[in-house]
Amino acid sequence: MRFHVFESPKEASAFASNIIAEQIKQKEDTVLGLATGSTPIETYQNLAEKNKNNEISFKKVRTVNLDEYVGLSGDHDQSYRYFMNTNLFDHIDINKENTHVPLGDAEDLEKMCEEYEKLIQDLGGIDLQVLGIGNNGHIGFNEPDIKLYNETHVTDLTESTIEANKRFFESKDEVPRQAVTMGMASILRAKHIIVLAFGTSKADMVKRLKDAYLDPQCPVTFLKIHENVDIIFDKDAGSKL
């Protein structure tokens, strides 16, 4: 696990977008695993800029997103499909048919989860996965628990995640209580993982990545098993190291 600390989120995001751009230059049909949330937004803006400057092309890139709220359709303005379209896909030359976000409004969610897992496999697996960290240590929506799931599944959101995400909704009552998320193995099978963490609210989690043990109550600690992980954070997120 490689730790990279930067003065500010801006510099950290520049570093992250350079890693992603290099990956795409090396393999034009790269499979990118993508996250939503506040943290990767500037990285996505940098990628759109690099695309505009003809530094990289997404024409052959395929993407799979980590998660989606249950019950929200892709045109709901708080769905993760909508987030991805407005924060990245609408601004780059990607073929939208090559972009995949779990369908939170599928009639048969279990079947959709199985199909999503198979899709990742059929694409040849994830070359580079982008992750954020929940304040409670979740990755994707693998929430702190006594047990963690391997594959894509439906999960209940914890009170702390509902609390953290209510800022995007009109009221807390509107935050969906469930989500579909890639599982721990779906994430850990990625060939390379980059984790972004900014601000003091992530400082405890960045510190937990230095601890010498795995804890299902802090799912991000399972990244220690992986051999190719870059943790990219600003000095506030690194303040407890």
Q: Which is nearer to ligand F6R, 134 or 144 (CB)?
A: 134
Left if phi > 0, otherwise alpha if psi is -120 to 50, otherwise beta: which for 21?
alpha
Strand 192-197 versus strand 128-131 pairing type: parallel
- Minimum CB distance to ligand F6R, residue 20 (Å): 16
How many Cβ atoms are within 10 Å of 174's Cβ, its own excluded? 10
How many Cβ atoms are within 10 Å of 95's Cβ, its own excluded? 12
> Using CB atoms, what's the residue nearest to ligand F6R?
132
Q: Are 34 and 84 in contact (CB under 8 A)?
A: yes
Query: Is 231 among the residues that bind ligand F6R (CB under 6 A)?
Result: no
Nearest in space to 149 (alpha carbons), one of 193, 125, 107, 179: 179
Binding segment toward ligand F6R, per CB under 6 A, in 31-39, 94-102, 149-157, 184-192: 31-39
Subset of residues 47 to 76 that bind ligand F6R, contact rule: CB under 6 A: 66-67
Nearest in space to 168 (alpha carbons), one of 39, 40, 77, 74: 77
3-state helix, strand, coil split of the chain in percent (to 5) is: 40, 20, 45
Q: Which residues are catalytic?
A: 67, 136, 138, 143
CA 224, 88, 5, 227: dihedral to nearest 10 degrees?
20
- Minimum CB distance to ligand F6R, residue 68 (Å): 8
Query: Is 138 among the residues that bind ligand F6R (CB under 6 A)?
Result: yes
Subset of residues 142 to 201 that bind ligand F6R, contact rule: CB under 6 A: none
In the list 102, 140, 144, 219, the residue contacting ligand F6R (rule: CB under 6 A) is: 140
- Minimum CB distance to ligand F6R, residue 176 (Å): 13
Binding segment toward ligand F6R, per CB under 6 A, in 5-13, 137-145, 183-191, 204-212: 137-145
Query: Is 236 among the residues that bind ligand F6R (CB under 6 A)?
Result: no
Query: Is 136 among the residues that bind ligand F6R (CB under 6 A)?
Result: no
- Contact footprint for ligand F6R (CB under 6 A): 35-39, 66-67, 80, 132-134, 138-140
